[in-house]
Amino acid sequence: MTRQMTGAKMVVQALKDQGVDTVFGYPGGAVLPIYDEIFQQNDIRHILVRHEQGAVHAAEGYARSTGKVGVALVTSGPGATNAVTGLTDALLDSIPIVVLTGQVPTFMIGSDAFQEADTVGITRPCTKHNWLAKDTDTLAETLHQAFHVAQSGRPGPVLVDIPKDVQFANGTYTAPEKSDTTIYQPETKGDITAINELVEAMEKAERPVFYTGGGVINSGPKASALLRELVEATGIPITSTLMGLGAYPASGENWLGMLGMHGLYEANMAMHDCDLMINIGARFDDRITGLISAFSPNSIKAHIDIDPSSINKVIKADIPIVGDVESVLTDILKVWKARGRTVNRDAIANWQSQISDWRKVECLKYVQEGKIIKPQYALSRLEALTKEHDRYITTEVGQHQMWAAQYLGFEDPNRWMTSGGLGTMGYGFPASIGAQVAHPDSLVINVAGEASWLMNMQEMGTAIQFRLPVKQFILNNERLGMVRQWQELLHGERYSHSWSEALPDFVKLAEAFGAKGIICSDPDDLDDAIMEMITYDGPVIFDCLVEKHENCFPMIPSGKPHNEMLLGEASTQGVIQAGGAVMV
């Protein structure tokens, strides 16, 4: 059956056929035909954001919290350029999103027309793939291919740029099942010889560790379930990157906590001293490895990744396995069970007791005394009072983000949304909106810094308009805290422009938008205030005034190996030497 329709109608039809229920967007001249179609239907809900960056981050929050593809719709020129940060963010964190941009009509492309930008040119390096749809007859197939590419293999952002005349013209609609997706078919099954080799290494290892990442989450809930089964059955300790939190439960017996620059002492020490490192869906990011030449010097490294370019990019893999985490873990379990479920029990027991000794360092210990709230205390209380809830957490970027990763526990995948690879201040608030749209009855909290939060605060309008009861939990230190910390450690305490001057009164700001504002500065009031935030049926801005000069520890200074972590304020002066100083 062939169906004739306009390009604009095709866009809406393709979204429906792809199972899309929500689009985050902002209209403009070059997408008016599509907005006209959106107006005339009720299957797809359009969430009007207040800035296109917000639309893309909201789509990311939606995608990350559901496992589905997030969709954003923006106009040409400034609409498209405003989407660039979100696209780059999604590329670095492998988040599947489809961004649709309007474009000037084909016959005006190249003429510097009003609101013309070379969108495919600008977004080529920050998308997994992009298309300029020049012909209405092939538009539907392109849209279906876009969804296919976004979610197949290593997920990522894609963009389809649709000129206005293509939206107006009539053409033939192609259904998803008639569209050619052979253009992109990544292999998902891991090489069985390498898997056997890994299982053999697991059987012999004396000090093994699982190092897991966002790839486990991207692979789907089944992958997390298999990971849990493998960890429980083998007793091998497990750590995770920032992006992978929740794949293995924080309450799990073998959980070491997050690793990396601000990771836990026991996790980083285990990485440094292990004899077998099993990387599952992580990419040896520089926040994880520290000084490469001193990274886990005595271990055999297995690396499971769906993207061959991740393997041997940074760290040489002794046992490389290219494949989807779910498929590879299925095979590992199968082989390991068939070979008799062997592990080196005695050695692993010793390893675990070594790890318990490291745990005794209590690297996250802090002292809450006096009348000033420590940020760590605020997060511990937030954790205690919300962990039983059906909860989704997003964050902004900075110290608060690292503290959230350290002090909040994640029991399930898809519950934690943070900007890891790009480190985008302004991500958390719109991402919380996306997560709340997807989970209207859940408790969605954005753990924010005051400076990051201001970067996309306009989205308060969106939260109010769509009755999204997102909780903005701002750890207000009146500082660009993470910047200040680096200036303290690296630049002789010269605090160049790392203050948050002229901050708004957040309570009044909330009220100005019609939301609830709560301010809390006394540790004794904190529990009640958090309860008030949770029970309020609507968006809340929570201004939590915290200690202004708290530093985030543990910290592996740039250019240092894992076993040279800083644990506290003592002797932090001059710790980052010239070699590390050039690194970010």
Partner 1 sequence: MAALKIKKGSTSHSAYNLRPNFSDEVETHTLAVLVDNEPGVLARVIGLFAGRGYNIESLTVAEVDHTGHLSRITVVTTGTPQVIEQIKAQLGRIVPVHAVHDLTVEGASVERELALFKVSGTGDKRVEALRLADIFRANAVDSTLESFVFELTGTPGKIDAFADLMRPLGLVEVARTGVAALSRGSE
Ligand X SMILES: Cc1ncc(C[n+]2csc(CCOP(=O)(O)OP(=O)(O)O)c2C)c(N)n1
**For binding to ligand X (CB under 6 A), which residues are involved?**
396-400, 423-426, 449-452, 475, 477, 479-483
Q: Is there binding between residue 511 and partner 1 (CB under 8 A)? A: no
Q: Is there binding between residue 583 and partner 1 (CB under 8 A)? A: no
Q: In angstroms, give the least distance from the CB of 448 to ligand X.
A: 7
Q: Is 457 a catalytic residue?
A: no
Q: In angstroms, give the least distance from the CB of 193 to partner 1.
A: 7
Sign of CA dihedral 452, 383, 564, 243: negative
Q: What angle do CA 111, 112, 114 make, to 5 degrees?
A: 115
Q: Is there binding between residue 322 and partner 1 (CB under 8 A)? A: yes
Q: In angstroms, give the least distance from the CB of 369 to partner 1.
A: 50
How far apart (Å, rounded) are the C-alpha atoms in residues 156 and 304?
Answer: 18
| Residue ranges in 457-572 assigned as alpha helix (H) | 460-465, 481-490, 506-513, 526-535
Among 66, 106, 129, 567, binds partner 1 (CB under 8 A): 129
Yes or no: say if 99 and 88 are a contact pair by the CB < 8 Å rule.
no
Measured in whole angstroms, the distance separating CA 14 from the mean position of its chain's CA atoms is: 27
Among 153, 157, 213, 449, binds Mg ion (CB under 5 A): 449
Pick the stretch among 168-176, 187-195, 433-441, 488-496 that binds partner 1 (CB under 8 A). Answer: 187-195
Q: Select from partner 1, ligand X, Mg ion, none the partner in contact with residue 323, using the beta carbon and a kind-dependent cut-off of 5 to 8 Å.
A: partner 1
Non-local CB neighbours of 193 within 8 Å, separated by 6+ positions:
none
Q: Is 164 a catalytic residue?
A: yes
Q: In angstroms, give the least distance from the CB of 479 to ligand X.
A: 5
Nearest to 100 by CA among 5, 22, 23: 23
Pick the stretch among 17-25, 71-79, 127-135, 491-499 that binds partner 1 (CB under 8 A). Answer: 127-135
Pick the stretch among 52-60, 181-189, 384-392, 469-477 that binds Mg ion (CB under 5 A). Answer: 469-477
Specify the residue, 130 or 394, whose C-beta has the smaller distance to partner 1: 130
Q: In angstroms, give the least distance from the CB of 465 to partner 1.
A: 37
Pick the stretch among 248-256, 319-327, 495-503, 567-575 that binds partner 1 (CB under 8 A). Answer: 319-327
Specify the residue, 269 or 455, whose C-beta has the smaller distance to Mg ion: 455
Per-residue exposure over 266-283, b if at least 16 CB sit within 10 Å of its own CB, e if not? bbbbbbbbbbbbbbbbbb
Q: Which residue is nearest to ligand X (CB)?
A: 449
Q: Is there binding between residue 187 and partner 1 (CB under 8 A)? A: yes
Nearest to 286 by CA among 309, 314, 311: 314
Q: Is 114 a catalytic residue?
A: yes
Q: Is there binding between residue 194 and partner 1 (CB under 8 A)? A: yes
Q: Is there binding between residue 186 and partner 1 (CB under 8 A)? A: yes
- Burial class for 262, CB neighbours closer than 10 Å (0-12, 13-18, 19+): buried
Q: Is there binding between residue 61 and partner 1 (CB under 8 A)? A: no
Specify the residue, 24 or 403, whose C-beta has the smaller distance to Mg ion: 403
Nearest to 472 by CA among 552, 554, 409, 534: 534
Pick the stretch among 28-36, 190-198, 202-210, 449-457 that binds Mg ion (CB under 5 A). Answer: 449-457
Specify the residue, 400 or 562, whose C-beta has the smaller distance to ligand X: 400
Q: Is 115 a catalytic residue?
A: yes
Yes or no: say if 220 and 67 are a contact pair by the CB < 8 Å rule.
yes
Helix pair 526-535, 375-386: axis angle to 10 deg: 50
Pick the stretch among 108-116, 124-132, 394-402, 492-500 that binds partner 1 (CB under 8 A). Answer: 124-132
Q: Is there binding between residue 180 and partner 1 (CB under 8 A)? A: no
Strand positions, DSSP E, 272-354: 276-280, 300-305, 319-322
Backbone φ, ψ for residue 550 (5° rounding): -70, 135
Q: Is there binding between residue 91 and partner 1 (CB under 8 A)? A: no
- Burial class for 528, CB neighbours closer than 10 Å (0-12, 13-18, 19+): exposed
How far apart (Å, rounded) are the C-alpha atoms in residues 446 and 455?
Answer: 14
Yes or no: say if 425 and 482 are a contact pair by the CB < 8 Å rule.
no
Among 3, 45, 222, 316, binds partner 1 (CB under 8 A): 316
Per-residue exposure over 89-103, b if at least 16 CB sit within 10 Å of its own CB, e if not? bbbbbbbbbbbbbbb
Q: Is there binding between residue 477 and Mg ion (CB under 5 A)? A: yes
Q: In angstroms, give the least distance from the CB of 451 to Mg ion.
A: 5
How far apart (Å, rounded) are the C-alpha atoms in residues 434 and 71?
Answer: 10
Q: Is there binding between residue 12 and partner 1 (CB under 8 A)? A: no
Q: Select from Mg ion, ligand X, partner 1, none the partner in contact with residue 207, using the beta carbon and a kind-dependent cut-off of 5 to 8 Å.
A: none
Q: Is 295 a catalytic residue?
A: no
Helix pair 399-407, 481-490: axis angle to 10 deg: 100
Q: Is there binding between residue 135 and partner 1 (CB under 8 A)? A: no
User: 26 has which bridge partners?
Assistant: none
Contacts with partner 1 by CB under 8 A lie at 120-121, 124-125, 128-129, 132, 149, 152-153, 183-191, 193-194, 306-309, 311-313, 316-317, 320-323
Which residues are the active-site residues?
Answer: 52, 114-115, 164, 482
